[in-house]
């Protein structure tokens, strides 16, 4: 699969079955496919139908059998606990096989779901891979989510078991996980049979007899379990992402296409060879952690870094450089937010000069739009290519990138470069007509999506079609707006729905509005995402109080903020709200969130022709000035 970018891309679009069939030869199959692409039930496309494989076997056992058993597979680096531990491929395989035995001994088998609610510890990766080994379906929930959010996911996935830990560690504080887990199970209608709990030395969790299982005690007596062959089209995992209604969407990833695509990306997008050290500074609770901490690096025979810390404060803004230097990282992938934080604390990059970064080749950024200032600062300080690339939870890997493993292209700041092979990206108007180069429209992808993307939503085929495929027939709706220039470079400008991007985390303002609306003094509300130099976007709430409420506005705002933090979690970064007399609306009753956002970000705006009362916009501007926006 060699050639220039344009040659490789054209082949991927004109002959997707030949292209991905060739890529699939690098994967271990118990049984080869009957057909590379099954399009008999459009729009539900399936890749490698008839094939049988095992994700864990491709990640671990295959490398041990091929002579990589003594190579480091996973480096756990935790500045918050002052711990560094390395697992070879053989050691990680043995740990995973034993934990698969623990799960199997507690009734988990092929097709059963397992919710994983863990901090950034190696046992989180072990649990994920153990599920894959058994053919069970894992659903990782980020440890920062509140109990009711976890409960919603438990009820949707209906897990046989839950794997968790006594606590997570944040700079300066311990976050107890077990009380959150117990509360979530109390709230949920579905009850798991068992919970396997990793007791960390910083916090001892209380255990419930008959339900809770101690990780260490179970591992001490576990019988290792072999890999279980599954169909290529069987689900590997469910990962919940925010929905515009506040109801999370369970993105499904299959086994076969996922292995093929992710293994292909390591060489072709990231330019990484087997044996090299690769670091995705994310969390296993997010899609980046799934794809590029746990799975893709191991499929490719790399050494993956699992980092429990922050870009600043653990202990300082030089920790990324320490990790890169100490572990000889060749390629790193993180969110622009991390580099904004480092730049804020160390604007001249002085801490970088303390470390030997001679092994470091490339920095990849994604999770939100990479602003040119941050990107240029990183380029200047590091002296290596800094590549912005664009993808989503639903896609599982990059839609657009500068594929340095195929052919490095000219960088255009503000653009994630060009569509990756397999991705037929177009820009269309509301009528699904392609627009000319340079014109902004909806960014869509012509079907079928390539392997490794999501074939549907968990138990929600109709919602899958309605949310992603209905508005633009024949295309996947990315819900991002942007344009493609005359050179074919893609520019992603903004979301087209109410999902906001806080430090790389996609969060639903609709979900936050649901929480605020439940406050007894609130009649109606709106949440918008406003620009933030550090986190990309931050949510700001507007509260219209019920008539007759005679309380201090500050008390109501404080209570509303606390409700969001409790019900969605600190990850929402919801800290600011203001009381207003009314919300700007169209005559049909639609709240003008886009106009409010423009006011908050001090951008030029024009009152829509359909606005009910233009005078309200002046009131909103005054309210925003009162909380530090619209300056």
Neighbours of 267 (CB within 10 A): 18
CA 615 to chain centre: 40
Question: Residue 424: its pLDDT value, please?
Answer: 98
Taking a C-beta distance cutoff of 8 angstroms, is the pair 61, 130 a contact? Answer: no
**pLDDT, position 470:** 96
C-alpha dihedral over 237, 50, 93, 127, to 10 degrees? 20
Position 496 scores a pLDDT of 60
State how far the Cα of 250 lies from the Cα of 247, in Å rounded to an integer.
10
Of 93, 25, 72, the closest CA to residue 275 belongs to 72
Continuous segment of H or E residues that includes residue 513: helix 509-517
Rounded Cα distance between 426 and 439, Å, is: 11
Query: Residue 624, Cβ neighbours under 10 Å: how many?
Result: 24
- Enumerate the domain spans of the chain: 31-309+389-394, 499-626
Query: For residue 610, what pLDDT is reported?
Result: 57
Contact by Cβ (8 Å): 585, 592: yes
| Phi (first) and psi of residue 26, to 5 degrees | -85, 0
- The β-bridge relationship of strands 536-545 and 576-579 is parallel
At residue 551, the pLDDT reads: 93
Are 574 and 500 in contact by the 8 Å Cβ rule? The answer is no
Give the contacts of 209 (CB within 8 A, at least 6 positions apart): none
Closest C-alpha to 27, from 66, 2, 64, 55: 55
3-state secondary structure 391-459: CCCCCCCCCEECCCCCCCCCCCCCCCCEECCCCCEEEECCCCCECCCCCCEEEEEECCCCCCCCCCECC
Please give the CATH number for the structural domain made up of 31-309+389-394.
3.40.50.12780
Query: Residue by residue, what is the 3-state secondary structure of 117-172?
Result: ECCCCHHHHHHHHHHHHHCCEEEECCCCCCHHHHHHHHHHHCCCEEEEECEEEECC
- 499-626, CATH topology level: GMP Synthetase; Chain A, domain 3 (3.30.300)
Q: Which residues of the chain have pLDDT under 50?
A: none
pLDDT given for residue 481 in this prediction: 83
Q: Which of 312, 314, 316 is nearest to 339 (CA)?
A: 312
**pTM of the predicted model, to two decimals?**
0.86
- Determine the pLDDT at residue 63: 98
pLDDT at 144: 67
- Measured distance CA(392)–CA(389) in Å, rounded: 10
Q: What phi, psi does 544 have (nearest 5°)? A: -105, 120
Asked if 275 and 413 touch (Cβ cutoff 8 Å), the reply is no
The pLDDT score that the predictor gives to residue 387 is: 96
* 24, HSE (Cβ side, Cα atoms, 13 Å): 29
């Amino acid at each position: 699969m060699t050639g220039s970018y344009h040659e490789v891309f054209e082949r991927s679009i004109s002959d997707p079955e030949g292209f991905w069939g060739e890529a699939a030869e690098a994967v271990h199959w118990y049984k080869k496919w009957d057909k590379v692409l099954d399009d008999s039930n459009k729009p539900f496309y399936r890749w490698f139908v008839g094939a049988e494989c095992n994700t864990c076997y491709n990640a671990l056992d295959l490398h041990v059998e091929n002579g990589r058993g003594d190579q480091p597979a996973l480096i756990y680096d935790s500045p918050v606990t002052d711990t560094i531990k390395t697992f070879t491929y053989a050691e990680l395989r043995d740990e995973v096989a034993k934990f698969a035995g623990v799960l199997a001994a507690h009734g988990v088998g092929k097709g059963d779901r397992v919710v994983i609610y863990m901090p950034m510890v190696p046992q989180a990766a072990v649990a994920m891979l153990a599920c894959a080994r058994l053919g069970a379906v894992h659903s990782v929930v980020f440890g920062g989510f509140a109990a009711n959010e976890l409960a919603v996911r438990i009820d949707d996935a209906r897990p046989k078991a839950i794997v968790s830990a006594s606590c997570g560690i944040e700079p300066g504080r311990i976050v107890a996980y077990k009380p959150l887990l117990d509360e979530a199970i109390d709230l949920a209608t579905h009850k798991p049979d068992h919970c396997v709990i990793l007791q960390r030395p910083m916090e001892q969790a209380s255990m419930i007899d008959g339900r809770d299982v101690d990780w260490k005690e179970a591992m001490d007596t576990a019988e290792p379990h072999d890999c279980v062959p599954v169909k290529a089209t069987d689900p590997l995992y469910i990962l919940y992402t925010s929905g515009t209604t506040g109801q999370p969407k369970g993105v499904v990833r299959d086994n076969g296409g996922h292995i093929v695509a992710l293994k292909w990306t390591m060489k072709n997008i990231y330019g990484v060879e087997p044996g090299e050290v690769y670091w995705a500074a994310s969390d296993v609770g997010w899609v980046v952690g799934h794809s590029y901490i746990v799975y893709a690096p191991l499929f490719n025979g790399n050494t993956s870094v699992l980092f429990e810390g922050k870009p600043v404060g653990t202990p300082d803004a030089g920790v990324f450089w320490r990790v890169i230097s100490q572990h000889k990282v060749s390629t790193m992938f993180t969110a622009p937010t991390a580099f904004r934080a480092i730049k804020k604390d160390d604007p001249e990059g002085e801490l970088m000069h303390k470390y030997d970064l001679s092994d470091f080749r490339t920095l990849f950024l994604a999770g939100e739009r990479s602003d040119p200032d941050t990107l240029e600062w990183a380029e200047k300080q590091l002296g290596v290519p800094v590549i912005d690339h664009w993808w989503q939870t639903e896609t599982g890997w990059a839609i657009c990138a500068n594929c340095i493993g195929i052919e490095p292209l000219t960088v255009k700041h503000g653009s994630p470069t060009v569509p990756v092979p397999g991705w037929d990206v177009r820009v269309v108007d509301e009528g699904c007509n392609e627009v000319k180069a340079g014109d902004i429209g909806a960014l869509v992808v012509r079907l079928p999506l390539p392997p490794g993307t999501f074939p549907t939503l968990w138990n929600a085929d109709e919602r899958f079609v309605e949310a992603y495929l209905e508005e633009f027939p024949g295309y996947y709706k990315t819900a991002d707006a942007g344009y493609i220039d005359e050179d074919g470079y893609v520019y992603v400008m903004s979301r087209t729905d109410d999902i906001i991007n806080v430090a790389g985390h996609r969060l639903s303002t609709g979900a936050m509005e649901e929480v605020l609306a439940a406050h007894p003094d609130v009649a109606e509300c709106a949440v918008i995402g406003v620009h933030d130099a550090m986190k990309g976007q931050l949510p700001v709430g507007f509260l219209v109080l019920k008539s007759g409420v005679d309380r201090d506005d500050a008390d109501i705002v404080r209570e509303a903020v606390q409700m969001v933090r409790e019900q969605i979690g600190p990850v929402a970064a919801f800290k600011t709200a203001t009381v207003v007399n009314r919300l700007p609306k169209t005559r049909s009753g639609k709240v003008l969130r886009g106009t409010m956002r423009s006011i908050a970000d001090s951008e030029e705006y024009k009152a829509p022709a359909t606005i009910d009362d233009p005078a309200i916009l002046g009131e909103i501007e005054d309210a925003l000035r009162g909380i530090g926006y619209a300056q």
